[in-house]
Amino acid sequence: MVELGPGPGALTQVLIERYGTENFSCIEIDQRAVQVLNERHPTLDVIHSDVLQVDYPTLQSSLSPNSPLAVIGNLPYYITSQILFALADASHSTAVRTATVTMQLEVGQRLVASTSTKAYGILSVAFQIYADTRLHFKIPNTVFYPKPKVESCLVGMSFVGEDELRRRLDGVRPSDLRRVVQMSFQQRRKTLRSSLRRILMEVHNGDKNKVNDIVTGGRKVEVPAGVKARAEGGDKFAIQQELPEEWGSMRPEELKPMQFIELTRLIYGEEEDKENYELGVKVWRKLKHGKG
């Protein structure tokens, strides 16, 4: 188990009382907090580092080589999304399997948001593909000191893992998916036909006829054999994966997370070896964060 940003250790104390320190590590950037933790808990493994710069696959192989990491922590509001994206990248190699974290309520609501809602966006799409995500309960601001201006919540995430993620993507590259999702929601009030035209022009070397053919539904969107087989087998994720023919006239918040996978396949294509292709080391997190 790894606690992110324990500070002086209020939550850490509770966790140690319950689980001990043998299989428990903390990552803390503040040197003063590190010193306090070391003094209070001499047997605790305290890693002096920035949670955004940590190489989680390497950390997992060092701390827990036989099982994925379980992450816990009170996430700083101003970097919550970037921490979550770092964990998503780590799940490409199944370095992280679960995360139980507190965060700003607004961010938690984005993670579990349904289509056609104001909260639905990039976080919703990514984490409904990558994980089983649940907002367990709200936390009033009165329980924190100093009291923040916003409410918080406890969120639990169980990442699907490398193999299941490959099955869901079925040859689609995560880096391509990220670009399509980000470009779509950067102009969320525009139709997908408009917001994705630049990507389509780049991919198809400026061929306007080909681009128009794609966005007007002239190119039939076939359901891949692997996705079709999973849907016929009752897989709830695959059942909802087919891309609507009228996708070009839709806005991004109308498209389900699994349909973004098929939209990405339509634009960028897919890997031939769907069972063994590289998912990537750094896809969702910023280039300046971590290795890769």
pLDDT tens-digit map of 150-192: 899 999 999 999 999 999 999 999 999 999 999 999 999 999 9
Q: Does the predicted model carry a pTM greater than 0.85?
A: yes
CA distances (Å), origin 85, targets 13, 118, 234? 27, 21, 29
Question: Is 248 known to sit in a ligand binding site?
Answer: no
Q: Are 166 and 274 in contact (CB under 8 A)?
A: yes
Q: Which of 52, 12, 40, 283 is nearest to 165 (CA)?
A: 283
Residue 142 is predicted with a pLDDT of 87
Alpha-carbon distance of 110 to 131, in angstroms, equals 14
- pLDDT digits over 49-59, tens only? 999 999 999 99
Mean pLDDT of all residues in the chain? 92
pLDDT band at 219 (very low <50, low <70, confident <90, very high): low
Using DSSP, state whether 53 is helix, strand or coil. Answer: coil
Alpha-carbon distance of 77 to 80, in angstroms, equals 5
Question: Is 50 known to sit in a ligand binding site?
Answer: yes
Task: Give residues with Cβ within 8 angstroms of 88, minimum separation 6.
Answer: 126, 127, 130, 131, 159, 283, 284, 285
The domain locations on the chain are: 2-162, 172-268
- pLDDT digits over 76-96, tens only? 999 999 999 999 999 999 999
Fold type of domain 2-162:
Rossmann fold (3.40.50)
pLDDT band at 220 (very low <50, low <70, confident <90, very high): low
- pLDDT digits over 124-149, tens only? 999 999 999 999 999 998 888 788 88
Alpha carbon 156 to its chain's center: 13
Question: Is 74 known to sit in a ligand binding site?
Answer: yes
Question: How many H helices and E strands in the chain?
Answer: 14, 7
Apex 155 CA angle, 152 and 161, nearest 5: 150
Q: At what angle do helices 257-268 and 162-169 cross, to 10 degrees?
A: 60
AA letter at 134: R
Q: Which residues of 205-218 are buried (b: 16+ CB within 10 A; e: fewer)?
A: eeeeebbeebbeee
Residue recorded with tokens 């209020």: 10
Long-range contacts of 282-285 (CB under 8 A, 24+ apart): 282/89, 283/88, 283/89, 283/92, 283/174, 283/175, 283/178, 284/85, 284/86, 284/88, 284/89, 284/126, 284/174, 284/178, 285/52, 285/82, 285/85, 285/86, 285/88, 285/89
